[in-house]
Amino acid sequence: MANLSLPRIALFLGAALLAAFPLTGATFYIQLGAKIMIMAIFALSLDLLVGHTGLVSLGHAAYFGVAAYVLALISPKYEPPSLWLSLLVAIAAAAAAAFVIGFFVLRTSGVYFIMVTLAFAQMLYSVFHDTKLGGGSDRIYIYLRPELTVAGFKLIDLENSLRFYYFVLALMLGVYALLIKVLHAPFGRALAGIKANETRMRCLGYPVFSYKLGAFVLAGALAGLAGYLAACQFGIVNPEILAWHQSGVVLMMVILGGMGKLHGPVLGAFAYVLLQEIFSAPAILGAYAKHWQLAMGSLIVLIVLVLPHGLADLFELPGRFFQRKGRNISGHRND
């Protein structure tokens, strides 16, 4: 019982702490918290593919970047864009890109699937880097954040860091709840079956390709949401957000937190970004801060060795302890 309830209790406590955090935090930490939650949404979107469908993608940053560029391209220079219109257009563009790419890459499997997703992402990177569409390496600036205005009254103004933080928090919790609903629905059960044994699911009459394409498009749309929010926060869009290393970073977050468990990618995003901030801070590591990648990589390897199923394993340890204790009390062997 403890094993089943602990993640849920931790989820409610974590949400409460995140909601209360801005009340005591400085502006820098409020912005850092928003950045982490944006990356958590990004990691959740990839975990739908990697952890629940068995599709390891190295091109997931493509949809993150497409949505960010859509916001930059449709934003007026001297006035804020409409929040809902720009958000819907950006997510739709990311979903459309995922549909087109998924239609081709899902005809492959294994290492070929990994390489083809990477190839498509690099193609999009080249489009924005080498043409005037994306401004090349000079980047595109977003001067004003989107806002929702009704009859001249601002219902949502994202220029305020505190309001932006709570907006991102609400969206992260909404994405988490949506994925819980999806994964417990027949669609999610089918994805679990495809991950376990795709051939058997096909023999049972399931349209495996359609299910995988649906998961691919949904994951792309959620990655687009994260890209839209990242563009809003930083006000800068450049081709590097579509590059292969961005896909590698979010995949690392999923692995670090724990694949196949929704709280895993969230934990992974928080752990990765916070560790990066610590190891790259000269005030903490001094001259060694410029070598933060070495310290970061070493610690991640150590964590994976100790917790092979990611940081999400920490929630399983109390349950295992109580199970072993119960077996000992009842007189059973403790293997």
Tens-place pLDDT, residues 279-330: 888 877 777 778 788 888 888 888 888 888 888 888 766 555 445 555 555 5
Structure tokens at 109: 């499997």
User: CA–CA separation, 266 vs 90, rounded Å?
Assistant: 23
Per-residue pLDDT at 178 exceeds 60? yes
CB 48 within 8 A of CB 263: no
Structure tokens at 49: 């593919």
The radius of gyration of the chain's CA atoms, rounded to the nearest angstrom, is 21
Backbone angles phi, psi at 82, to 5 degrees: -65, 130
User: CA–CA separation, 164 vs 220, rounded Å?
Assistant: 23
Question: What is the phi-psi region of residue 135: left when phi exceeds 0, alpha when psi lies from -120 to 50, beta otherwise?
Answer: left
User: CA–CA separation, 311 vs 10, rounded Å?
Assistant: 13
Q: What is the pLDDT of residue 220?
A: 97
User: CA–CA separation, 220 vs 129, rounded Å?
Assistant: 21
Residue from 185, 180, 214, 265 nearest 53 by CA: 214
The residue behind tokens 């995949």 is: 251
Residue from 144, 171, 175, 4 nearest 75 by CA: 144
Tens-place pLDDT, residues 36-51: 999 999 999 999 999 9
CATH 1.10.3470 fits 2-21+33-325, yes or no: yes
CB 58 within 8 A of CB 114: yes
This prediction has a pTM of 0.90
Dihedral sign from CA coordinates of 70, 216, 273, 84: positive
* 3-state SS, residue 149: strand
Please state, rounded to an integer, the average pLDDT across all residues of the chain: 87
Q: Using a CB cutoff of 8 Å and minimum separation of 24, what contacts does 272-277 make?
A: 272/39, 273/32, 273/35, 273/36, 273/39, 274/36, 275/299, 275/300, 277/32
User: CA–CA separation, 269 vs 253, rounded Å?
Assistant: 5
Categorize the per-residue pLDDT at 211 as very low, low, confident or very high, splitting at 50, 70 and 90. Answer: very high
Torsion of CA 296, 120, 213, 114, to 10 degrees: -50
